[in-house]
Copies of this chain bind each other. A is one copy, B any other.
Amino acid sequence: MSRIKPRTLSGFMELLPNEQVYFEKMVEKLREVYSLYGFTPLDTPLIEASEILLAKGGGETEKQIYRFTKGEHDLSLRFDLTVPLAKYVALNYGKLTFPFRRFQIGKVYRGERAQRGRFREFYQADIDVIGDGSLDIINEAEIPGIIYRVFTELGLHRFVIRINNRKVLNGLFEILGVADRAGDIMRTIDKLEKIGREKVFELLTGDCSMEKDSAERLLNLLACEAEPIAALGEYKGQNKTFDLGVSELETVAKYMSAFGVPSENYKIDLTIARGLDYYTGTVYETMLLDHPEIGSICSGGRYDNLAEYYTDKKLPGVGISIGLTRLFFVLQDQNYLNPELPSSPADAVIIPMTEDLAPAISFATQLRGLGVKTQLYSENKKFKQKMAYADKIGAQFVVLIGEDEIREGKVTAKDMFSGSQVSASPAMIAAGIAEAVNKKAGITPIKEPVE
């Protein structure tokens, strides 16, 4: 018969089995942490009516979206998890309790130009807290605590959560009389790290037509490294938005240590803005200290109106998103996957050496009852090939059950990592294997390489 050459579409991540185990572990940790913070899991369809997903409209989204018709329906694949959340909350408003805390980890689709490390299908891992009419600032203060917990549980420690407040920026632009150019100015400020202060100053006074004096004051303030909140003091009392923003930033900073975020893992950074129209309060970015070139690995912020395209209810919220597929790609690429994480499909492979498989099967059942991932291997192969199988899949233990063992009421276990071998009662061997396996339960999927 004629055959089709198997292939996976470019821009679609498809992992090998041992790689997949790392990815699954990361997802598991995220679910665990989000649940501990009282977020409930949601799962919305990957396909929505195009009019729903495109309610907001806008250029890049429309170009990148996977849109098609089926029968008479105009359908699209979701391109983020925020728009489906907005639809969900508007649709189920009467059935939800607010503040509504949900997490969602799922695939989204964007038909970007394929390039290394960019994906057309990728996981996002989002949390959001949605208020009904209002939402207390404590929710904004809690987010960095969650980010901190998520990354440390994954095994990352050398990262910094950058925190800013959009009200501070907006107020400041009003004070300086440049509110009409806020977008251009922020995009320019955003280049500080890349092109340096001098070039940014040129652009601010040139393209953005700021007065030299204003540009100087703005740069002095935003680029101030030490005590940014103190530095904001000199502008207080001139603008309500600004004052409110400073007070929010103070509150968020004040509770960092109560939320368990060490001072080296967060930083008030007045230069971050995270998009122009959407965020209205605290904003977050998270950078790997050793790989700032990767950009933010977890971002988000406070917004005033989640679902304005679907409902007249005012639904303010705060949320963050992790681009999990890209994060995984980067961590793998940078050698961050922890080699100590057990990634074998089996902790133990049982090799029966007798015609009657019942004793081997019973022992498999015993091991599984203790939480040990167990395979029975009874393919028609030579002994050496059987051992090679266990070795190849990376199983730590091989259990041999032959005539001798059955007669003596024992089983023989070989630790493939240490090479040691022991014969004992099934109960003792099972307990020993289970203990060794449980010891490794806390190993994180990620480990920062020692420089």
Chain A contacts to B: CB under 8 angstroms: 1, 3-9, 12-17, 20-21, 23-24, 35-49, 51-52, 55, 66, 68-71, 73, 75, 86-88, 90-92, 95-97, 99-102, 107, 109, 111, 121, 131, 134-136, 138, 142, 145, 149, 255, 258-260, 307-312, 345-346, 349, 357-358, 361-362, 365, 368, 371-380, 389, 392-393
B4 touches A310 (CB 8 A): yes
- For A375, give its contact among B8, B16, B68, B101 (CB under 8 Å): B101
Output the residue of A75, A131, A136, A361 with the most chain B CB within 10 A. A361
Chain B contacts for A37, CB-based, 8 A: 368, 373-375
A258 touches B311 (CB 8 A): no
Provide the bound-state CA to CA distance between A369 and B68, in Å: 47
Provide the bound-state CA to CA distance between A173 and B247, in Å: 83
Nearest chain B CB to A313 CB, angstrom units: 11
Chain B contacts for A5, CB-based, 8 A: 310
Smallest CB gap from A43: residue in B: B20
| With known contacts A14-B45, A259-B361, A7–B368 Cβ distance under 8 A | no
| With known contacts A37-B374, A99-B379, A379-B99, A6–B121 Cβ distance under 8 A | no
Chain B contacts for A97, CB-based, 8 A: 389, 392-393
| With known contacts A310-B3, A380-B134, A107–B20 Cβ distance under 8 A | no
Provide the bound-state CA to CA distance between A21 and B102, in Å: 12
Nearest chain B CB to A77 CB, angstrom units: 8
Provide the bound-state CA to CA distance between A15 and B40, in Å: 12
Smallest CB gap from A86: residue in B: B6
A345 touches B40 (CB 8 A): yes
B36 touches A373 (CB 8 A): yes
Chain B contacts for A135, CB-based, 8 A: 379
A66 touches B55 (CB 8 A): no
**Nearest 10 pairs between A and B by C-beta?**
A68-B68, A38-B375, A40-B345, A258-B361, A38-B346, A12-B45, A6-B310, A6-B91, A6-B90, A258-B358
Nearest chain B CB to A153 CB, angstrom units: 11
Chain B contacts for A44, CB-based, 8 A: 8, 14
Chain B contacts for A260, CB-based, 8 A: 365
B365 touches A259 (CB 8 A): yes
Output the residue of A38, A69, A371 with the most chain B CB within 10 A. A38
Chain B contacts for A14, CB-based, 8 A: 43-45, 88
Smallest CB gap from A71: residue in B: B111
A92 touches B16 (CB 8 A): yes
Chain B contacts for A138, CB-based, 8 A: 357, 376, 378
Nearest chain B CB to A403 CB, angstrom units: 18
Chain B contacts for A47, CB-based, 8 A: 9, 12, 66, 109, 121
A4 touches B39 (CB 8 A): no
| With known contacts A66-B68, A111-B71, A46–B6 Cβ distance under 8 A | no
B378 touches A136 (CB 8 A): yes
B111 touches A70 (CB 8 A): yes
Smallest CB gap from A48: residue in B: B9
